[in-house]
């Protein structure tokens, strides 16, 4: 199954002096089961796009097909609860939305709200907290007592406890330290590869895209400029730079080495592989 946007446009504050067409005829088909990065300059429409996936924003024109439902311009969608459960949307800086007096209560809230019994909700909450790497000693703490990184994990556990089929994350690692970022990205990778979750990540970090994502969607002025697998996408560093995107360090390094006469195969995807290829070429003169 896939998620399809057909000629989707979204206009903020229509008919006012603040009117702004943030999405402009978006056609996009996202395959389920993949990790897709949504990238593009600030203001290109990334956050607006992803809020259509659980009908938080409704299109002014066009339609979206997702998990067997159609969300159409001009039609008020009915019975949104199953969609909101199946499409877990994590906003940027989600930690500001923690509101219960303890961590465990915050995570239990979601599944309970969707009709799960107290006991099962607690079980789901514990599983979700374990997934994000938080241990039992923080269950009874107030979210206010936690560090920024811990709060972020709780907020992600809030969504995971609802066991969504599709996980949508708006800049989930913004502001985390390098270790926290790596752990968070590894978690999303595991949720995809081990549990089959479809994952969409809005990010400005090309190292993450290169390391963890399968496909890349580039938005530009509310339109899809490119939708490709990541290897194809990063193959052309100059094209990336023309879109204001700085390719990952490994790709830039390969470009520099090629300019200096090294041949280097397309299949080098790690620093170790690059070092080995260089050694071979130097040895062979
Ligand atoms: N509530 C709003 N009212 C009017 N215009 C808005 C509103 N929210 C966003 N916009 C405009 O819509 C455009 C797209 O915004 P959006 O937040 O989707 O961009 P983005 O790609 O997520 O950017 P960033 O990388 O900065 O998060 C921007 O030009 C923004 O100014
Ligand atoms: Mg945004």
Summarize pLDDT for 114-146 with one digit per residue, the tens: 999 999 999 999 999 999 999 999 999 999 999
Residue numbers of the domain that contains 163:
2-247
What is the average pLDDT across 16-21?
96
The first and second tokens of residue 98, run together, are 């923690």
Q: Whose CA is nearest to atom 25 of ligand 1?
A: 42
The CATH number for 175's domain is 3.40.50.300
The answer to whether residues 78 and 130 belong to one domain is yes
CA nearest to 46, candidates 249, 197, 245: 245
Provide the pLDDT for residue 240. Answer: 87
The answer to whether residues 197 and 275 belong to one domain is no
**Which ligand 1 atom is at minimum distance from the Cα of 219?**
21
CA nearest to 55, candidates 34, 83, 75, 82: 83
Q: Whose CA is nearest to atom 16 of ligand 1?
A: 45
* Whether residue 266 has pLDDT greater than 90: no
SS3 130: helix
The answer to whether residues 185 and 236 belong to one domain is yes
Provide the pLDDT for residue 97. Answer: 87
The answer to whether residues 222 and 233 belong to one domain is yes
Provide the pLDDT for residue 38. Answer: 98
Beta strands (DSSP E) in 17-56 are 20-31, 35-39
Q: Which secondary-structure segment (H or E) carries 172?
A: none
The answer to whether residues 192 and 163 belong to one domain is yes
The answer to whether residues 263 and 146 belong to one domain is no
The answer to whether residues 124 and 164 belong to one domain is yes
**pTM, two decimal places:** 0.93
Domain total of the chain: 2
Q: What's the CA-to-centroid distance between 44 and ligand 1, angstroms?
A: 7
Q: At 238, is the pLDDT very low, low, confident or very high (cuts 50, 70, 90)?
A: confident
Provide the pLDDT for residue 169. Answer: 97
Q: Whose CA is nearest to atom 31 of ligand 1?
A: 43
CA nearest to 163, candidates 115, 204, 206: 115
Rounded Cα–Cα distance for residues 30 and 202 (Å) = 14
The answer to whether residues 206 and 237 belong to one domain is yes
The label of the residue with tokens 């999405």 reads 23
The label of the residue with tokens 């203001």 reads 43
Q: Of how many residues is the chain composed?
A: 285
Provide the pLDDT for residue 62. Answer: 98
The answer to whether residues 147 and 222 belong to one domain is yes
DSSP 73: T
Rounded Cα–Cα distance for residues 210 and 234 (Å) = 8
Ligand 1 binding pocket mutation candidate from 13, 17, 39, 45 (most atoms within 8 A of CB):
45
On whether the CB atoms of residues 29 and 214 are closer than 8 A, the answer is no
Q: Whose CA is nearest to atom 11 of ligand 1?
A: 22
Residues with CB under 6 A from ligand 1: 12-13, 18, 20, 22, 40, 42-48
Q: What's the CA-to-centroid distance between 249 and ligand 2, angstroms?
A: 24
Provide the pLDDT for residue 242. Answer: 87
The answer to whether residues 155 and 252 belong to one domain is no
The answer to whether residues 185 and 277 belong to one domain is no
Provide the pLDDT for residue 182. Answer: 93
């Amino acid at each position: 199954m896939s998620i399809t946007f057909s000629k989707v446009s979204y206009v903020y504050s229509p008919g006012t002096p603040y009117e702004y067409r943030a999405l402009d005829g978006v056609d996009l088909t996202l395959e389920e089961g993949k990790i897709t990065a949504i990238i593009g300059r600030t203001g290109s429409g990334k956050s607006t796009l992803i809020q259509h996936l659980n009908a938080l924003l409704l299109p002014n024109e066009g339609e979206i097909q997702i998990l067997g439902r159609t969300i159409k311009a001009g039609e008020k969608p009915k019975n949104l609860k199953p969609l909101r459960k199946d499409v877990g949307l994590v906003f940027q800086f989600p930690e500001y939305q923690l509101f219960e007096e303890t961590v465990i209560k915050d995570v239990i809230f979601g599944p309970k709200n969707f009709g799960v019994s107290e006991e099962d909700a607690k079980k789901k909450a514990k599983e979700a907290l374990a997934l994000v790497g938080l241990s039992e000693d923080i269950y009874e703490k107030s979210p206010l007592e936690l560090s920024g990184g811990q709060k972020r994990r709780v907020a992600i556990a809030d969504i995971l406890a609802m066991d969504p089929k599709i996980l949508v994350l708006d800049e989930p690692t913004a502001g985390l330290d390098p270790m926290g970022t790596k752990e968070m990205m590894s978690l999303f990778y595991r949720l995809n590869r081990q549990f089959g979750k479809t994952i969409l990540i809005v990010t400005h970090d090309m190292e993450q895209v290169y390391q963890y994502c399968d496909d890349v969607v580039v938005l530009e002025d509310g339109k899809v400029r490119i939708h490709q697998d990541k290897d194809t996408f990063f193959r052309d560093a100059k094209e990336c730079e023309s879109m204001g995107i700085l390719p990952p360090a490994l790709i830039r390094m390969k470009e520099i080495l090629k300019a200096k006469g090294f041949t280097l195969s397309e299949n080098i995807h790690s620093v170790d592989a690059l070092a080995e290829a260089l050694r071979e070429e130097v040895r062979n003169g």
